[in-house]
């Protein structure tokens, strides 16, 4: 049984930009629509939850209106969705109230009882929990790929596979997966490849270009970029996005204020990400040579092969770095206490640098044995680099890692 796809009238189109226009320009000008009222340069914020319903409206003959009730879509969400669509090079994009909202609607729309979903075990803890819940609630089977088990899609994708889900780079160990290789294996068995592109952003990586069927984002992170809004996005072919969109009964639309802020934030995405890429690389290199650090996780650093994949599919390696601190949780506590302005908080992708301990935040829902199997040890620290001065970040981290001279902490 397939879901009914509710055909809604399309909102008015945006002024198209020529094909040669690049991402930084698209972020600024990609969602211009003639404003017949005031001629405003900035798209307005529409707070209305409901829209006029012309008595002659008929869903069977959808001439108008494009909006009825804000949960099903509202005009403030259109410009940011359009920008994300263009940046990912997709046919359609739909916004959600959070990344988890986007993931929940995607999985629920595309799986049926008995389907197999192939997913790596070392992904964002919330997504893992969601998939585990769907195993019980919907009757899907998740084929969890353990880290280190295999990098070859053909070892785990089979005829029963319906969806393949990847994060690349992954959360929190920043493993890079070969999108093209997973896409062709998924394609060979008629499965869909879904890539969570939250960590890379479309500035650094465009999974659809390498054969992914759908891209999902937590727009709460880099796309929002200021740690002050929650949103999610699903991007891909219109037919698939419409199927997922049919699930707006889940109520997962972003509110107009968040959509307005997201539109504003997207304008600076390429500047922010370029700086975050630079800061993360500088920090990763500095940590690699630091005696207090046992191991650094940075996209592409696991092997020569992974580096080649990252070179091929990523324009920049992103703003995230993780590392294992020698001395486990005691050393981590001390390090966190000593930081001056790198904030200790979960989440990522904002203009401010944040540090978190996955064991206590993003992956706290997993049992300790499972966490260790995934490589999430007690000394693991995850850094989200912001746009501060590189030298200041290096200094704050270096001083927090210095050997202890007093024992008060
Ligand atoms: C990779 C990844 N995907 C999805 C999510 C969920 O997004 P949200 O917090 O916006 O629901 C997160 C949250 O940390 C994440 O790190």
- For residue 58, give Cα distances in angstroms to 53, 101, 203, 361, 401: 10, 29, 41, 48, 66
Q: Which of 140-154, 169-183, 209-223 has the lowest mean pLDDT?
A: 140-154
Ligand 1 test: best mutation among 126, 201, 347, most atoms within 8 Å of CB? 126
Close Cβ partners of 3 (under 8 Å, ≥ 6 residues apart): 109, 243, 246, 247
**pLDDT tens by residue, 189-200:** 999 999 999 999
Does residue 263 contact residue 231 with C-beta atoms inside 8 Å? no
- For residue 106, give Cα distances in angstroms to 46, 61, 234: 27, 28, 8
The pTM assigned to this predicted structure is 0.94
* Structural Rg of the chain based on CA atoms: 22
Q: Is residue 62 scored above 70 in pLDDT? A: no
Orientation angle between helical segments 256-266 and 78-88, nearest 10 degrees? 40
The response to whether residue 126 sits with its C-beta less than 6 Å from ligand 1 reads: yes
CA distance 363 to 296: 19
First to last CA, the chain: 60
Q: Taking all residues of the chain, what is their mean pLDDT, rounded to a whole number?
A: 92
Q: Characterize the bridge pairing of strands 161-167 and 214-218.
A: unpaired
Q: For the domain covering 23-267, report its CATH number.
A: 3.40.640.10
Q: By alpha-carbon position, which residue is closest to atom 7 of ligand 1? A: 99
Residue 408 confidence class, pLDDT cut points 50, 70, 90? very low
Q: Which of 228-232, 255-259, 287-291, 369-373 has the lowest mean pLDDT?
A: 369-373
Give the residue, 3 or 86, on which the prediction is more confident. Answer: 86
The response to whether residue 123 sits with its C-beta less than 6 Å from ligand 1 reads: no
Tokens describing residue 350? 């904002």
The response to whether residue 99 sits with its C-beta less than 6 Å from ligand 1 reads: yes
Q: How far is ligand 1, taken at its centre, from the CA of residue 252, in Å? A: 14
Task: Identify whether 298 is a catalytic site residue.
Answer: no
CATH of 270-401, one of 3.40.50.2300, 1.10.274.10, 3.90.1150.10, 3.90.1580.10: 3.90.1150.10
Q: By alpha-carbon position, which residue is closest to atom 14 of ligand 1? A: 347
Residue 395 confidence class, pLDDT cut points 50, 70, 90? very high
Q: Is residue 2 scored above 80 in pLDDT? A: no
* DSSP code, position 38: T
Per-residue confidence (pLDDT) for residue 365, from 0 to 100: 80
Give the residue, 44 or 406, on which the prediction is more confident. Answer: 44
**pLDDT tens by residue, 24-37:** 999 999 998 877 67
Per-residue confidence (pLDDT) for residue 181, from 0 to 100: 97
**pLDDT tens by residue, 279-298:** 999 999 999 999 999 999 99
Q: By alpha-carbon position, which residue is closest to atom 8 of ligand 1? A: 99
Give the residue, 122 or 307, on which the prediction is more confident. Answer: 307
CA distance 263 to 253: 15
Is 270-401 in the same CATH topology as 23-267? no
Per-residue confidence (pLDDT) for residue 409, from 0 to 100: 41
* DSSP code, position 191: P
Over residues 305-328, the mean pLDDT reads 97
Q: How far is ligand 1, taken at its centre, from the CA of residue 19, in Å? A: 31
- For residue 187, give Cα distances in angstroms to 91, 162, 163, 180, 211: 19, 10, 10, 10, 9
| Domain residue ranges in the chain | 23-267, 270-401
Residue 64 confidence class, pLDDT cut points 50, 70, 90? low
Q: Characterize the bridge pairing of strands 293-297 and 116-120.
A: unpaired
The alpha helices in 320-380, defined as continuous H runs, are: 328-338, 368-373
Close Cβ partners of 399 (under 8 Å, ≥ 6 residues apart): 338, 340
Kind and range of the H or E run holding 142: strand 141-145
What per-residue string of b and e applies to 97-125 under the rule 16 or more CB within 10 Å gives b?
bbbbbbbbbbbbbbbeeebbbbbbbbbbb
Q: Characterize the bridge pairing of strands 293-297 and 232-236.
A: unpaired
Q: Catalytic: which of 124, 222, 260, 298?
A: 124
Per-residue confidence (pLDDT) for residue 338, from 0 to 100: 97
Over pLDDT 70: what percentage of the chain? 92
Q: Name the 3-class secondary structure at 214.
A: strand
Backbone angles phi, psi at 132, to 5 degrees: -65, -40
Q: How far is ligand 1, taken at its centre, from the CA of residue 89, in Å? A: 22
Per-residue confidence (pLDDT) for residue 12, from 0 to 100: 65
Per-residue confidence (pLDDT) for residue 11, from 0 to 100: 66
């Amino acid at each position: 049984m397939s879901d009914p796809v509710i055909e809604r009238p399309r909102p008015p189109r945006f002024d198209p930009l020529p094909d040669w226009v690049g991402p930084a320009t698209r972020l600024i000008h990609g969602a211009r629509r003639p404003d017949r009222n005031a001629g405003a340069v900035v798209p307005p914020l529409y707070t209305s939850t409901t829209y006029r319903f012309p008595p002659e409206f008929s869903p069977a003959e959808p001439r108008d209106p494009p909006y009825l009730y804000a949960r099903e879509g509202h005009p403030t969400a259109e410009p940011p969705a359009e920008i994300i669509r263009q940046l990912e090079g997709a046919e359609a994009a739909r916004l959600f109230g959070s990344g988890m909202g986007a993931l929940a609607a995607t999985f629920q729309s595309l799986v049926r009882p008995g389907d197999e979903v192939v997913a790596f075990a070392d992904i964002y803890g919330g997504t893992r929990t969601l998939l585990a819940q769907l195993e019980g609630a919907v009757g899907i089977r998740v084929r969890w790929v353990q880290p280190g088990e295999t990098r070859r899609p053909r070892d785990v994708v089979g005829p029963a596979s319906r969806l393949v889900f990847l994060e690349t780079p992954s959360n929190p160990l920043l493993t890079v997966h070969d999108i093209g290789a997973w896409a062709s294996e998924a394609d060979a068995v008629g499965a869909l490849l879904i890539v969570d592109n939250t960590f890379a952003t479309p500035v650094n990586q465009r999974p659809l270009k390498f054969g992914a069927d759908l891209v999902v984002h937590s727009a709460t992170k880099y796309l929002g970029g200021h740690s002050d809004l929650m949103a999610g996005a699903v991007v891909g072919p219109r037919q698939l996005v419409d199927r997922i969109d049919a699930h707006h009964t889940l109520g997962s639309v972003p509110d107009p204020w968040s959509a307005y802020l997201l539109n504003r934030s997207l304008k600076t995405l390429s500047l922010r990400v370029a700086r975050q890429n630079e800061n993360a690389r500088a920090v990763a290199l500095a940590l690699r040579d630091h005696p207090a650090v046992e191991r650094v996780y940075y996209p592409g650093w696991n092997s020569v092969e992974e580096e080649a994949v990252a070179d091929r599919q990523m324009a920049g390696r992103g703003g995230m770095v993780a590392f294992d601190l020698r001395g486990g949780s005691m050393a981590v506590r001390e390090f966190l206490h000593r930081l001056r302005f790198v904030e200790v908080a979960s989440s990522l992708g904002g203009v401010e640098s944040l540090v978190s301990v996955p064991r206590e935040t993003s992956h706290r829902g997993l049992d300790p044995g499972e966490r260790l199997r995934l490589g999430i040890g007690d000394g693991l620290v995850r850094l989200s680099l912001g746009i501060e001065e590189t030298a200041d970040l290096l200094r704050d981290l270096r001083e927090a890692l210095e050997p202890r001279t007093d024992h008060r902490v």
